[in-house]
Structure 1
């Protein structure tokens, strides 16, 4: 059965860059290993220079960040020396592990014109045994991601396994993550092999059990539920979930199973022990004022 409906909240990351924040939610902090989700755009940014939208270098620990675009492009740079432009249909999968810093720059004015920029950002918490793994980054092109089609249904498996498909994207947590496009009237069900499952409406509207759900809502279903999802109009959905990992603490851009590890990460960033990207090291996001405990903490600032 339906466990909860999460209503996205507005969050401002930069001038002209407002996002819908879905996770974490006060009544449902995680869905499987997914602990954070933002929906940015469509963004129609006219002022010049366009770098006012940029997300400056900032740190992460204890998670993997996942960037997926519907439109536009973003330049990623990190402390491993990686510089990668991500385009629609590609996946940027960065595992922070013991600590990494990265930036996201919007350097192509054409990619911001006409409301073209639109992206989904998620964080995947790591199993305890992998929280201190070495940082890594990989970009996956669309041709490496499995696609399935049926009458009125198109879906791309971004990561994990679902519907008999398996993605080559390297993950450390049992999960699934899908981009689904439905024609009006199309019907389908959720993958049954995962304990926790969420459906986020990115475009259009859907009907479940005679109720309508619209853009900005995430439906989270209990284990064993077998809902029928019907597109009320052309719709774009993000499906995600997997196996629960247990309690995680989140403070700013840090995630860990241990509060003391987050305290260490704060000190590491403040004292410069987490390196900046070598090709983007002239500015960075300072550590926020600490006004709350790690279990809650400041709202995450970064897109990923």
Structure 2
């Protein structure tokens, strides 16, 4: 039933750790999901730096931010300024190009507090790679949820279990948040064998779950075989993110840029270096420079990893 297990690689981003799951050297994508980070968990002291990601560019993808705890203030070059809180979704589509920052609000920084969430990048299908950039924020009412018998499930994006979330996705996908009480059994959306999604995976955020006769713990992603129809049992209270969808085709990933075309990546690098991409109007005093790394990407199948100074 299990194709692969991926261990999150913990990275210190200057007082704040993330667990990087995708891309992985042996598995670049799951459906259209090309990047997945677990942000934290962290507890910031009052006055600590907290989240401070300077403006930086993207092309060819949508970013999906989702929090369990804390708050992040998003600003981007479409003019959007939007805090995100637990249970909400920030869905930003870069298309032909967008610039955004993510920071802790100064008032929240002065108080300190917890931070824990997920950051995903969804590669756009080829026909949508050059769409105009856009930003959408959705509260809990935009995400169908279910709760019964120790299982809480929220459909964060896409379609699953007969429901559809509000985020404006560009290709078939699903992204689900489970909270499982000890002993609860449940199942992911169906796979290819029964007319479901071609690629699926589960990321255990915390706790322990059993799939077949194997146990998986926080920080592990389980990539399922396309036709597998497993039952997942929570051995302890557990938080799990379930994700997948239909592949959109091979993608080049370099720093914050994703594309089906190396030429588009090179053009985006030149535009950012030359200052041709507008900064957010309320956050235009600094930015992350283009990394000083060789222009030629690593040979396939090993991906060029995003800049470790940028967790989103």
TM exceeds 0.5? yes
Q: Which contiguous aligned blocks of 4+ residues in structure 1 show a shift greater than 3 angstroms?
A: 50-53
Shift of the alpha carbon at 1:292? Answer: 5.8
Tell me if the contact between 1:69 and 1:90 (Cα under 8 Å) persists in the aligned partners.
yes
Aligned to 1:213: 216
Shift of the alpha carbon at 1:163? Answer: 1.1
Aligned to 2:193: none
2:304 aligns with one of 259, 278, 297: 297
Shift of the alpha carbon at 1:110? Answer: 6.3
Shift of the alpha carbon at 1:294? Answer: 3.1
CA deviations on 1:142-188 (whole Å, 9 max, x unpaired) are 02210012322110000111111111211101100011000000001
Aligned to 1:2: 2
Tell me if the contact between 2:212 and 2:231 (Cα under 8 Å) persists in the aligned partners.
yes
**1:176 is the counterpart of 2:174:** yes
Aligned to 2:72: 74
For structure 1, list consecutive stretches of 5 or more residues without a partner in the other structure.
none
State TM-score, norm by structure 2.
Answer: 0.93
Seen in structure 2, the aligned counterparts of structure 1 residues 8 and 292 have a Cα distance that, compared at 3 Å, is: farther
2:199 aligns with one of 196, 200, 207: 196
2:255 aligns with one of 233, 248, 252: 252
Aligned to 1:223: 226
Tell me if the contact between 1:290 and 1:297 (Cα under 8 Å) persists in the aligned partners.
no
> Residues of 1 paired with 2:104 and 2:222: CA distance?
31
Aligned to 1:158: 156
Seen in structure 2, the aligned counterparts of structure 1 residues 298 and 179 have a Cα distance that, compared at 3 Å, is: closer
CA deviations on 1:212-238 (whole Å, 9 max, x unpaired) are 100100001121101111001000000
Aligned to 1:140: 138
Seen in structure 2, the aligned counterparts of structure 1 residues 95 and 132 have a Cα distance that, compared at 3 Å, is: same
> Residues of 1 paired with 2:181 and 2:84: CA distance?
27
CA RMSD between the two structures: 1.4
SS of equivalent to 2:222: strand
> Residues of 1 paired with 2:78 and 2:112: CA distance?
27
Shift of the alpha carbon at 1:47? Answer: 6.6
State TM-score, norm by structure 1.
Answer: 0.95
Tell me if the contact between 1:292 and 1:298 (Cα under 8 Å) persists in the aligned partners.
no
Shift of the alpha carbon at 1:112? Answer: 3.6
